A and B are shown apart, each in its own frame.
Chain A
């Protein structure tokens, strides 16, 4: 082989490396986006109600809650954790937010602050269970999920919180220039968290802990503090999401968010977050959240029962995780 050939070979190798490196992140995002477009077109043809202003507004608001909470879930998944408590914590936050408005006359904004505070406390609890008590995230948050749901039922006596002023709906059903208010909040949250993860030291440590906790620890990163911080921040977003969800139905529902964790984990994983930690981007999660919301919305429009929706979401999770494993093997087989 001549040296010219060798050089060309190297260059080709480097170019393909460069290409792989660039697109390795984007593969699942691109796949998910393609699926989203296909589903969107299919639903347009399948149902005359799909492409109406009302329905699109509805999808926007529905996506908002899933997207905000899936953003929270993504941060936790990047650290190689998982948060199963998001549904109960969102319900607890929404119910308490509604109660302080009804019973104590709080403004919507003060109530939102309460809901966020509830979420933050739950996140702190999760974080301490994982870092101080050293309970694996799956079990720690499973416990929080059960405790949270129990508290919601105890506080409300299993009855929804009604009798709220119309202004309570602003967060979930209000709009700015025809854009749902909830969508605006979601965009702000998504951009903020994406920035935090990709551009700041906090984000760098989040990926590092998920990728190799021991290496992060020995690099002098205070992993306990940081991991707790991630759970608290996730809790803040879950509280916000719960409040928006309550605002949408103008009431605090103790049943809200049962199996919500499946939807948001699916959204994160479809978007490329890896359950093995260290990988995940908010762009992908938002696409994933849209996909899940579309599946739910389409199923309603096409009159597919809620039970089938569960089956569909479950199959999507399998497919997404299988794809994640496959991608990892491909990437690592090179080493």
Chain B
């Protein structure tokens, strides 16, 4: 684990239009039986930005997120990573392409230590024949975990602590950190602060900022409009299974966001 990847560290002043989006969805259609959850949805994430994905209940946010993280392969449409078309049939495919997702509920294994959770599915093995037998290098994982959490500013007592003994905020910080550590392109956070208090929410958002500053792209699904404007660089609005608007966070108010979500203004270009 190389702690936080510093993507394109030397020439990342401003994401130029010339550089293809790090993650892009085009014309995604997803049906569940007769229900069309996504009806040609588009979505764009550029390098080093925090994009908030918002929309009313039933707009298709969760479905879109699950499509981008490989949980629900799309029926139609295209996903591109760094400009190249990719097929996400399973979450593992998405992770291989550098897209990590933190789901609302099932992020961590409570009985395992913080370090074990950070390395779950990517354990460091001992070198040599012992490693081939599956012997863990716990020391290396402890050190790696401590260093990576330190870099992201996540404070927990010890990396050997079982997750069950952490507070809700610490737990979520670990889950988010885990995704950031392994992602090489995009981290998708589905309502990461929905169950947290004010202070804990602040901690999680700090972690997100640090990751962005290190060149990571972050997609944030949230219902909390003030929070969206506080943390996001850009906002993409989903309505009725399509992109209804792309907005710059510093140019709009929460009222504008709500209007775009409900379709009560003409920010919305997809409608006739």
Instruction: List A residues at the B interface (Cβ < 8 Å).
Output: 14, 17-18, 20-21, 24, 199-202, 204, 207-208, 210-212, 214-216, 218-221, 277-279, 331-332, 334-335
Contacts and interface: CB of A to CB of B under 8 A. Distances in A.
Prevailing SS type, chain B contact patch: loop
B243 interface: no
A132 B168 CA distance: 34
A334 B138 CA distance: 27
B109 A216 contact: yes
A215 B108 contact: yes
A335 B111 contact: no
Contact of A17 (B92, B95, B157): B157
Interface stretch (B17-25, B30-38, B128-136): B128-136
Contacts of B92: 220
B161 interface: yes
Tell which of B91, B111, B157 has the most Cβ of chain A within 10 Å. B111
B91 A18 contact: no
9 contacts: A21-B160, A201-B134, A208-B109, A218-B91, A220-B121, A279-B111, A331-B164, A331-B165, A335-B171
B171 to A, nearest CB: 7
A211 B112 contact: yes
A21 B162 contact: yes
A218 B71 CA distance: 9
Nearest to B169: A335
B205 interface: no
Contacts of A334: 165, 167
B177 interface: no
B120 A219 contact: yes
A202 B121 contact: no
A282 B55 CA distance: 50
A14 B157 contact: yes
Contact of A21 (B107, B111, B161): B161
Q: Which interface residue of B103, B120, B161 has the most chain A CB atoms within 10 A? A: B120
A147 to B, nearest CB: 33
A331 B167 CA distance: 11
Contact of B135 (A199, A279, A331): A199
B250 interface: no
B136 A201 contact: yes
Nearest to A332: B164
B211 to A, nearest CB: 19
A62 B164 CA distance: 37
Interface string B104-145: 001111111000100011110100000001111010000000
A203 to B, nearest CB: 8
B166 interface: yes
A17 B161 contact: yes
A277 B111 CA distance: 9
A236 B134 CA distance: 20
Interface string B156-181: 01101110111110010000000000
A204 to B, nearest CB: 6
Given A201-B125, A220-B91, A221-B121, A212 B110 contact: yes
10 nearest CB pairs, A to B: A219-B121, A278-B111, A211-B109, A211-B111, A200-B134, A220-B121, A201-B134, A212-B109, A214-B106, A219-B120
Given A21-B158, A202-B134, A215-B106, 14 more contacts: A17-B157, A21-B161, A21-B162, A21-B165, A199-B136, A199-B138, A207-B112, A208-B116, A210-B111, A211-B109, A277-B111, A278-B111, A331-B165, A332-B164
A332 B163 CA distance: 10
B121 to A, nearest CB: 3
Contacts of A214: 106
Contacts of B161: 17, 21
A216 B138 CA distance: 19
